Structures are given as structure tokens and as C-alpha cells.
Amino acid sequence: MAGAFNTGKYRNVFAELGYSQEEINERLEDTFQTLFYGSEDQRIYYPVGDDMGYIMDTGNFDARTEGMSYGMMMCVQMNKKEEFDRIWKWTKTYMWMPEGRNSGYFAWSCKTDGTKNSYGPAPDGEEYFAMALFFASHRWGDGEGIFDYSHEARNILKECIHKGENNRDGEPMWDPTNKLIKFIPDCDFTDPSYHLPHFYELFALWANEEDKSFWKEAANASRNYLKKACHPNTGLCAEYSEYDGTPHYNKNEPFGRHDWYYSDAYRTIANIGLDYSWYEADEWESEIADKLQTFFCDTVKDKDDMIYLIDGTIIEEKALHPIAIIATNACASLAAKGHYAKDCVVRFWNTPLRDGDRRYYDNCLYFFAFLALSGNYKIY
């Protein structure tokens, strides 16, 4: 494998296309500053007091484990320790659940004053918290209490896979049989965009000794699962799917419809691109990235901001997060080798951040794409 994990070299796709390093660096820092300290129509980060802060979902006016863990990953990649620690302290203070059925997990949504909106967790938050904490440990060193980053990360992962054992209440976040991450602990289906084999490879190195083999198996299981979840012709996947990869149709759950290529699903191809960048473990990732870019750039062309069934059927309704589609299509170029890899990156470079109420999700994926395509989404 010739990925960055083995070579230590991260592709700078922007530089490959002729953009200057000075311009790339300036754009990256400006983007971070806009998201964290921009105007009220731009920012998603809000400091609280002397030592805390939160990331707000500006479309729903709450703080979510998704966004809080994303914020921590942004900060550790950008070497912003103060903001990282502020977000982590807010998370542990208000979102962590010390008791009850979901003790040891984090409440997926809180009001911006810290009041919990729900006592249920979402596994994508936990896996990002753990990875960001490990990176913080390796980049800045472990501190004391909640800032003993590596200890906190290992505890999160332990809960994720052992909860419910030995007569303990609750459910694990990964299915113990097939090693696939669940959509929520109390269900038997998954979300393709939650699958991060490139994270699990690292968990297999850094988790508690007795859990390392589980994470190695989880990495392999998720890579195999993604081959089933992504449509072989379009590269599209559903927001939620069964463990066999088929779209999950609403079966009277309160979640609404999620069997189509919509908001959550956009992250999947970006994750595949980053996994290929770090590990180059499977050439299928290049093939599916090419197919997805071909679908957007050639098949649907000027209807590239719609909702789709995974076979490419267009639902005549606009996507809620069109900037996220542009960003993740560009991130696919970390794996793609076809005709449209350059086009997707150039289009992303020429696309500004989103402003307004719905900016949070689009701009999180925008920033991660910029980190990855500039060679700055690194393993620490």
C-alpha cells in the first residue's frame, strides 16, 4: 500500500493543478477563521466563558455531537489547541451521560445553553471524538483530567463496542457479529456515511489492547460493506442502509425517508477518498469515485443539485445542501483517476463558503474537503 500512512506523504491536489502554495495556505487559514470567527452570517463556532465553546448547527439551532466532533477534528488538524479544548470541555460538561441506559455515551443534541434535547447517542460523533482525541494526544501530549486525551479516546471506544456486556444495560454502537457501525445503538441497520475504515485502522493501533483486533476486523468489514452500499453504476448510496447494503426503507421509525442520496449520504464518497489517500487499500475506491464523478459531471450535468435514488433516478426536488455535494465530489478526487477528477476540484476551488441558516453542514464538509485536497488532513 502506498497511501500516506506508509509513505508519510499527503497529496496536495490543489498544487498538482497549479495553485500556489501561498494561495492554498492563505485560503485554508481564511476558511478556518471565517467558520470560527467570521460574521454572524458566517461563523459556526461560539466561545462560552473563559474555557468552553460549541459548534452550532445553524439550521436547527442546536449543538450536535456530529458538529462538536467535527470542530475538534478541524482544530487538531489546524493546530488550534485552545479552541479544541474549549469544544471538548463543553462536550464533556453538557453532552456526556454519566448514568442511565446510555451512560458513557454523548447525547447527540443539546440546546446551546447545554440542556440536552435527547438522551440518545449517535455513533458518528463518538468515532470522530475518539479520532480527534488520539490526534490531539499525539500532536500536543496528554494533559490531566478530561484533557488526558488518549485515555478519553480509549474509554469512548471501549464503551462503543462493549456496552451491554456482562449484564450491563444499553447497546453497543457496532454490531458485535458483523463489526459494522449502527445508525443508533438501538437498531439493526446502518448509515453508509458513518463507515470510516481509515479511522478503524488507527483505532486498531491505539485502542485498548484487548480491542485492537476488533477494530482491524471493523476496517475490513466496512470496506467490504461500502462495496455493497454504493450503486455499481452511479456510485451513489442511500442515507441509511441494511447491513447487506440495500437502502433502508422507512419501517415506521420516526426518522422519515432515508433510502435516497441525500444529506448524510454525501459524506460517503469523501470518506472513501480519504481512506484511499491514507491507505490505498482497494482500487475499487478509485473505480467508484470515477463513477460518481461521471454521474454528476456527465449523466445529470445541470441537474447536479437534486435528490436522487441510488440508481440515478432524479427526484424533482432540490438538495438541501448543494455546496456539500460540490465539496464531497471534489474530495472523491483523492481516489478518482478519471476524466472528471480535475473538473470537480476546480469547481470546488471556485465555490465560496455558504452563508445563511443552512451553512453549518455544507461548510463543515467544505472545510474537510479543503483540508484533504491541500494535503492537510493528516494522521498524527
Indicate the DSSP class of residue 330. H
CA distance 139 to 128: 16
Q: Give the whole-angstrom CA distance, residue 239 versus residue 193.
A: 7
Estimate to the nearest angstrom the gap between the alpha carbon of 210 and the chain centroid: 26
Residues 167-183 pLDDT 10s: 779 999 999 999 999 99
Amino acid at 263: S
Distance CA(138)–CA(117), nearest Å, equals 33
Contact 48, 86 (CB under 8 A): yes
Residue 75 CA to residue 90 CA, distance in Å, equals: 15
Among candidates 168, 164, 205, which has minimal Cα distance to 379? 205
| Residues 75-88, mean pLDDT to the nearest whole number | 99
pLDDT band at 252 (very low <50, low <70, confident <90, very high): low
Contact 87, 68 (CB under 8 A): yes
pLDDT digits (tens, 9 = 90+) for 300-342: 999 999 999 999 999 999 999 999 999 999 999 999 999 999 9
Please report where in the chains the cell 464503551 appears, as a residue. Answer: 159
d(CA 279, CA 268): 16
Query: 3-state secondary structure string, 280-305?
Result: CCCCHHHHHHHHHHHHHHHHCHHHCC
CB 311 within 8 A of CB 231: yes
For residue 51, pLDDT beyond 90 = yes
Which grid cell is 98? 454519566
Catalytic site residue from 83, 85, 124, 264 = 264
Grid cell of 137 as nine digits: 494526544
Model-level pTM greater than 0.95? yes
Full set of structural domains in the chain with CATH: 1-43+225-380 (1.50.10.10), 45-173 (1.50.10.10)
pLDDT value, residue 168: 79
pLDDT tier, 352 (very low <50, low <70, confident <90, very high otherwise) = very high
Q: How far apart are CA 359 and CA 89, in angstroms?
A: 24
3-state secondary structure of 18: coil
Active-site residue flag, 264: yes
Q: Please, where are the H alpha helices in 175-257?
A: 197-206, 212-229
Label residue 255 by pLDDT band (50, 70, 90). Answer: confident
> In the numeric block, which cell numbers belong to residue 106?
454523548
Tens digit of each residue's pLDDT (9 = 90 or more) over 187-235: 999 999 999 999 999 999 999 999 999 999 999 999 999 999 999 999 9
Q: Measure CA of the first residue to CA of the last residue in the chain; give whole Å.
A: 19
What phi and psi, each to the nearest 5 degrees, are found at residue 45?
Answer: -105, 135
For residue range 314-323, what is the model confidence (pLDDT) as tens digits? 999 999 999 9
Q: Is the pLDDT of residue 347 over 70?
A: yes
Catalytic residue (choose from 57, 62, 66, 287): 66
- Residue in 129, 158, 171 with CA at minimum distance from that of residue 146: 129
